[in-house]
Copies of this chain bind each other. A is one copy, B any other.
Amino acid sequence: MATIKAAILGFGTVGQGIYHVVNEKRAQLKAKLGVELEIVKILVRDTKNERVPGTAALLTDSIEDVLAVDGLQVVFEAIVDEEPAFTYLKRAVEQRCHVITANKVMFAKRGMELQQLAKTKGVHVGYEATVAGGVPIIKTMKNILLVNDVSRIQGILNGTTNYMLTKMRQENWSYDEALAEAQRLGYAEADPYNDVSGQDAFKKIMVLCDLAFGEQPNWDDVDVIGINTLTTEQLEDAKAKGLRYRHVAEAEKLEDGTIVAKVAPQLVAPDHPLYPIDDVFNAVAMETNYIGTLTVTGPGAGMYPTASVMVEDYAEIIGKRAGFTVSI
């Protein structure tokens, strides 16, 4: 039986999750796809730190080592920041590897470029994990777009701030109390800037703009307002009125074709699709022309949700090939 060789770039939470899912699901993937998936290299900074027992022999700190693997076909990428991630994936695509990424910072800026290049090379780019963790919003939207037009997207795309807003409402916690608890639970980083400022959600809504509209607005024209602007009085007032603050990332294609987007706390009423989404959940509501409004809700982060959608990207890519070899 054929074996597909794959590498993982970055071996933090998500990278380790990919390794676990691939190994736990080895037999099932083989049975479904007719090929075996083997992780043959893992790119890390410190090869002396064997984070998962049994992986020492796979670790390397050199991208050259990774790309030199004979017959490498798939690269999973779970690094942060634009570089060197983009350069690594570009090189992988150039040598005709399928690439599967969880890197929203890189993908928001360079995703279209990477996809264009992949097209010319006849390989695929999986990026489900760049937006909303385990929520399969990319595949759902791709499918919808085969026939429907999407005119507007509204999402809760950051679980940390949604958790904080939920607790501030339910428990009357202050912003500082909610942040401290989010940090204690591991939802927020020691430096919570990317989450609370809206920058994280901003990158994700830009990825969705590329998919839904084929283009992004000029980044400088997008207002990105964090949840740290909300006062206790505003929250109390909302509660008294039966409304809820959500940290909403939204994008819309106007009648004249212009794309507008913003990230900001918004007051939503009980009939709004994002009203019931509490705690660390993510949700995306899409307005479409034929179907109406579709909402997808689920866990927006975490080792296993994020890693499993990346392995699903792999299965989808490989499954297409295998399916076709059989059916033509």
| Chain A interface residues (CB < 8 Å from chain B) | 21, 25, 28-29, 32, 122, 134-136, 139-140, 143-144, 146-148, 270-271, 273, 275-276, 278, 290-299, 302, 304-305, 307-309, 311-312, 315-316, 319-321, 323-328
Contact across chains for B147 and A312 when beta carbons are under 8 A apart: yes
This chain: copies in complex: 2
Q: A146-B315, A323-B324 are in contact. List 18 more A-B contacts (CB 8 A).
A: A29-B147, A122-B326, A134-B291, A134-B294, A136-B140, A136-B144, A139-B140, A146-B319, A147-B308, A147-B309, A148-B308, A148-B312, A271-B278, A290-B308, A292-B298, A292-B305, A320-B320, A321-B327
Output the least CB separation between A301 and chain B (Å).
Answer: 11
Question: Which of chain B's residues have a CB closer than 8 A to the CB of A278?
Answer: 271
Cβ contact within 8 Å between A147 and B324: no
CB atoms of A295 and B296 under 8 A apart: yes
Contact A290–B315 (Cβ < 8 Å): no
Asked if B316 and A146 sit within 8 Å, CB to CB, the answer is: yes
Query: Distance (Å) between the CB of A252 and the closest chain B CB?
Result: 19
On whether A21 and B298 interact (CB within 8 A), knowing A311-B147, A312-B146, A324-B328, the answer reads no
Q: List 6 A-B contacts (CB under 8 A).
A: A122-B327, A136-B140, A139-B143, A296-B296, A320-B323, A321-B327
> Across the interface, do A136 and B294 meet the contact criterion of CB distance under 8 Å?
yes
* Nearest-Cβ distance from residue A21 to partner chain B, whole angstroms: 6
**Are B294 and A297 interface neighbours, CB within 8 A?**
yes
The answer for the CA separation of A292 and B147 in the assembled complex, in Å, is 29
Q: Whole-angstrom distance between the alpha carbons of A28 and B146 in the complex? A: 9
Q: Which of B146, B276, B298, B325 contacts A32 (CB 8 A)?
A: B146
Q: In the complex, which residue of chain B has the Cβ closest to the Cβ of A328?
A: B324
